[in-house]
Structures are given as C-alpha cells and as structure tokens.
Amino acid sequence: MHSGKRALKGPASLAVPLTSLLAALALLLGTPASGAFAATQEPGAVEGKTYTIGTDTTFAPFEFRENGELVGIDMDLVNAIAEDQGFDVEIRSLGFDAALQALQSNQVDGVIAGMSITEERQKVFDFSDPYFESGIQMAVAENNNDVAGYEDLEGKRVAVKTGTEGQAFAESIKDQYGFDVIAFAQSAQMYDDVKAGSSVAVFDDYPVLAYGIKSGNGLKTVTEKETGSSYGFAVNAGANPELLAAFNAGLANLQESGEYEEIMDRYLDAGAADSSFWSLVTDNAPAFAKGLGLTLLATALSLFFALILGIIFGFFKVSSKVVLRGIATTYVSIFRGTPVLVQAFFFYFGLPQLIGQPVDVLTAGVLTLSLNAGAYMTEIVRGGIQSVDPGQMEAARSLGLGYGKTMQKVVIPQAIKIMTPSFINQFVITLKDTSLLAVIGFAELTYQAQQIYAVNFRTAEVLLIVAALYFIVITLLTKLADVLDKRFNK
C-alpha cells in the first residue's frame, strides 16, 4: 500500500546513521541488534499495558470509517491481537506520513497502516512478521476501451497515490512505456482524476483497487497483479520489543485459529453499499456533526487567543520603545512569513521533540491557528490605531488628558470602528483554515469528509455537503458579526 515503497524523508532519514551506529556498537559489545532482541521478548510482558498505535486515515479496506467508527483489516487485526495477548490499544488515525512522523517522535508506540516492509524502512523501524502479501494492478475508467496494457500508455498520464508501491512501480516503468506520472494524497482523488479523463490509468495496491471497484469507484482492472511486498506492523528500532513479540505471537495464534482468514474475508470480499443522496447525508450525519463541532471549537479557541495576541502585539507595534516594536515585528514576520501547514507540522511533530512530551492534536491545532491569526490581527490593530488622525491625539493632550486616557477615550474607540471589518474577515479566514488541520489528524469537517468519500468514492457529493455546511456557518458568523458591529459602532 502506501507504505508501498515510500521513501523516508525528514526525521526518518536522519535516524538511519544513528540506527546503524547503535547496531555496530551492539555487535562490538556482543549484544543483539534491535530486531533480534525484539524476537526474544516474552509476549506476556505486555499484559495489562496500553499502547498507542498510529494508522492511516483512509485506506480501505485496511483502515476506513464505517458509521463513524474506524474499521478495516488493520484495525480488526490489531484489536484481535491485543485481546489475544492481553494488552489494550488506543488507535490514532493520523494519515500515513503523519503516523510515521508520530512514531519517530514517540507520540505513538507503533504503526499499522498497510505499511510495506522495505530495506530502507528496516534501517529505521523494527517490523513484525508479514501479515499481508500485496501486489500492484493497473485500472482504467469503465468506459475506456483504448487502454488494455502498459504499451497503450505512451504519451499519456497515469495517477498514483503518493508514497505507495503503485507510485514506485509506475516510476520504474514510465520511461520504458513513455508515460507521465502524477501523484495524489488519497486513493479517491486519483480515481476521480481517471474518471474525469485527466489521467488514463491508475496504479494501486490490488486489494485497495478491488475494494474500490466493488464500491463503485467507476474503474476496471486491465492487467494482472504484479508481485508486491509484504505489509508489517512497525515500531521504532530498538523500542517496544515486547510489543513486537506480542504482535507476532498474536498473529500466529489468529492464523492457527482461523480468525485471521475470517478478518481477511470480511473485507476483501466486501464493498461499500450504494445509497441515495439523502441516505448519504443521514447515514453520515454523526460524522458531519462531530466534524462541525470540532471545527467550531478550534475556531472559537483560536480566535480568543488570537485576539489577545493581536491586541498585545498591536500595541507593541505602535509603541515608542524599540524593543517592543522589535518583538512584535519578529513575531509577525515569522507567522506571516511561513505556511500554516508548516506551522501545524512543527507544533504537532517538532515541538514534542523539543519539550520531550507529546502535544495533543487539538492543542497543536489551536496553537497553529491562534499564533497565525494573531500575527494578522496584530497588523489590523496597528493599522487601526495609526489610521486615526494624529490630530485627535494632539487635541486631547492639549486639553490636559494623559496618553493613557487619550488612547482609551479618543483613539481606541475610533480605531475599533476601522478595525471591525478586518476582524470579521480574519474570523472567517480562521474558520476556513481549520480545514488545514486535517493533515495532522484533527477530526474537523474536512477530515470527516475525507473519511467518508475514501470509503464510498462519492467525492463530489460529500464535498458538496461539506461546502454547504461551511457556507451556512460562515454566513451565520458574518451576520452575527455585522449585528455586533452595528450595535457597538453606532
């Protein structure tokens, strides 16, 4: 799957030399390397413990949401193994790349996400025994009768999912057959690209492709399955060897008892059921409601803190003290000069490594949005104050009012009237920016939409529902802001 032949980037690649050094030291000292050590642990050592396991958000049939609950081969498998071995698991649905980063920053104890076992990954992670043998297939739109094999791809474009075996396979043969490759973040997106005619074919892991076709993704396979790699459960190299040993022992027990085959059959022979548009709304209403609630919560908290930051640093910007102006300018430059996504990744994955403890996704999201919005509100406050005619300050001072009283009674009331429209605009922007937090696994409205269309592949309809919800909320927020503006700025 995704893990396919995903190249390791960022923290993972930096960990390789360290892992190799530790392995060499272990060899010199006569102690076993991490993988060998893990295999010797007693599975009973995990009894009564709770482990946090990271996974992908959308990779049916291995992990997806059904009636709001995370299900799939990986989920049933890890829960069954946990029950067999006497430990508990807390699942964190993060997305594949985010799950790997969370593992490397020790925010989770292990990852199960259809992750292919590759030599490159084995330098950074310890893997369990394989629990699934994958493979790659090519598919085209149902009504496409022109592409029947790789030789028909010359001069055309094919779609793949970022970091998957499908991408690696497509890249390996593209020069031979003369086609271009475009990568998408999710399976549903690349399927939609093929159905829209922008790409003529897609390469994907065969169980994922088969599930999608049964669920009505509008494609058909045209090639035989290419040999793929094995999926495995992963922990950091040298970490949690008892968990890895317990996973292997539990997997063996499930295979022996026949429960493993039951789990596989339950999902590999299934597909999402068709339903009407109204059923799509009602069946997924709990997910939409949860996403909307978290969106509003993150927005409210972020705006509260952003407003405080904007007022404080806004006054710093107009201060006569060089130090305060410098502090405010630096803050604004940093958070207006870097992308929100980079900030979100830093607060969720980077900050825990600096402070030595995990940061939950809501805290990371609110930190990101409040600091980012606060930087823009700082400029709104500065601009509002400086827009007031300087003569107002001079006139008040000539009447004997001090600087503080002049700001309070004369300048600030006029500045608020100037700032209000810009504040309303920033409120709306912050509400929409919550959708970016989906990349770190925050289950807001956009995240919930991704979970839904990843299973039923009804992307346009699901996004239409989400767009309508955003439109309604933003319209109501704007109306409320206008009412408050008229009331307080008569």
To the nearest 10°, report the CA torsion of 359, 361, 366, 372: 90
pLDDT at 260 over 90: yes
The whole-angstrom separation of Cα 441 and Cα 107 is 13
The whole-angstrom separation of Cα 306 and Cα 132 is 47
Q: What is the pLDDT of residue 1?
A: 46
Q: What is the pLDDT of residue 273?
A: 57
State the sign of the Cα–Cα–Cα–Cα dihedral 291, 293, 294, 300: positive
Domain extent listing, the chain: 11-131+232-268, 133-229, 279-488
Higher pLDDT: 340 or 34? It is 340
pLDDT at 281 over 70: yes
State the sign of the Cα–Cα–Cα–Cα dihedral 191, 137, 77, 439: negative
pLDDT at 44 over 70: no
The whole-angstrom separation of Cα 428 and Cα 477 is 8
Q: What is the pLDDT of residue 489?
A: 64
Q: What is the pLDDT of residue 29?
A: 37
pLDDT in tens, 360-410: 889 999 999 999 999 999 999 999 888 888 777 778 777 777 777 777 777
Q: What is the pLDDT of residue 42?
A: 58
In the chain the first and final C-alpha atoms are separated, in Å, by 60
Asked whether the bond before 207 is cis by omega within 30 degrees of 0, the reply is no
Q: Which CATH architecture has domain 11-131+232-268?
A: 3-Layer(aba) Sandwich (3.40)
pLDDT in tens, 399-421: 777 777 777 777 888 888 888 88
**Angle subtended at Cα 362 by Cα 125 and Cα 426, rounded to the nearest 5 degrees:** 125
pLDDT at 168 over 50: yes
Q: Mean pLDDT over all residues of the chain? A: 84
Could you say which of 3.10.450.50, 3.40.50.1820, 3.30.2130.30, 3.40.190.10 is the CATH number of the domain covering 133-229? 3.40.190.10
Please report which confidence band the pLDDT of residue 299 belongs to, taking 50, 70 and 90 as the band edges: very high
To the nearest 10°, report the CA torsion of 80, 83, 86, 88: 90
Residues 47 and 243 sit within 8 Å (Cβ to Cβ): no
DSSP 383-436: HHHHHS-HHHHHHHHHTT--HHHHIIIIIHHHHHHHHHHHHHHHHHHHHHHGGG
Could you say which of 3.20.20.70, 1.10.3720.10, 1.25.40.10, 3.30.1370.100 is the CATH number of the domain covering 279-488? 1.10.3720.10
Q: Residue type for 379, please? A: E
The whole-angstrom separation of Cα 234 and Cα 113 is 9
pLDDT at 43 over 70: no
Same fold, 11-131+232-268 and 279-488: no
For residue 233 the two structure tokens come to 């459960």
For residue 407 the two structure tokens come to 């700001």
Please report which confidence band the pLDDT of residue 184 belongs to, taking 50, 70 and 90 as the band edges: confident
Q: What is the pLDDT of residue 393?
A: 73
Q: Count of CB atoms within 10 A of residue 140's CB?
A: 24
Strand order in the sheet with 234-236: 88-93, 50-55, 110-111, 234-236, 125-127
pLDDT at 358 over 60: yes
- Residue 269, burial from CB neighbour count under 10 angstroms (0-12, 13-18, 19+): exposed
pLDDT in tens, 424-472: 889 999 999 999 998 887 888 888 888 788 777 778 888 999 999 999 9
Q: What is the pLDDT of residue 481?
A: 77
pLDDT in tens, 52-108: 999 987 788 898 877 767 889 999 999 999 999 999 999 998 878 888 988 998 889
Q: Output phi, psi for 59, to 5 deg.
A: -155, 60
Q: What is the pLDDT of residue 433?
A: 92
- Three-class secondary structure assignment of 182-224: EEECCHHHHHHHHHCCCCCEEEEEHHHHHHHHHCCCCEEECCC
Q: Report the run of H or E that residue 326 belongs to, with start and end.
A: helix 322-336
Q: Count of CB atoms within 10 A of residue 141's CB?
A: 20
State the sign of the Cα–Cα–Cα–Cα dihedral 485, 486, 487, 490: positive
| Partners of 478 in beta bridges | none
pLDDT in tens, 4-35: 433 333 333 333 343 344 344 333 433 333 34
pLDDT in tens, 205-253: 888 888 888 877 889 999 988 887 889 999 999 999 999 999 999 999 9
